[in-house]
Amino acid sequence: PEEQTLALIKPEAAKTHKDEIMNKVKEAGFNISKIKEQALTREMAAQIYKDHQGKPFFDELVNCMTEGPSVIMVLSKENAVEEWRNLMGPADPEEAKKTCPESIRAQFAHDILSNAVHGSSNVEHAERSIQFAFGELDAD
């Protein structure tokens, strides 16, 4: 069935590789249902990365995600959550280069933290993050 996911081009990649990443999104057949360019607030970053709260890299991750404008998108496609994760590749670009050389992270990620793109990890997460990024919903 048609599905939606929240996809971000992280600030550093939004500055340096936006057009190349957007081309890969389109080539892969995603429909871009919504798009805006905006710096995440710390509150938005904390919501998107709720499951990572308490991890040693959490503060650094929030800093990295709020340092400049991200490209924030809702992508639609059959099986969009998993398809976007496949196109992103593994979080660690070194691993991505070895195992998924065609992936976005293999080609454009800097390091594991500033790794070019983000995508929701499951459908429920996607729905919540989309509401939070584009809707009126408050963080819970």
User: To 10 degrees, the CA torsion angle through 81, 47, 8, 15?
Assistant: -170
Q: Which CB atom, from 61 or from 126, has the smaller least distance to ligand CMP?
A: 61
Q: Which CB atom, from 69 or from 136, has the smaller least distance to ligand CMP?
A: 69
CB 3 within 8 A of CB 120: no
**Site for ligand CMP contains 115 (CB under 6 A):** yes
Q: How far is the CB of 132 from ligand CMP (least distance, A)?
A: 15
Residues 12 to 71 in contact with ligand CMP, rule: CB under 6 A: 52, 57, 61
Does residue 118 carry a catalytic annotation?
A: yes
Question: Which of 122, 121, 81, 87 lies closest to 105 in space, CA to CA?
Answer: 87
The residues annotated as belonging to the active site are 118
Q: Which residues would be at the binding site for ligand CMP (CB under 6 A)?
A: 52, 57, 61, 91, 112-113, 115, 118
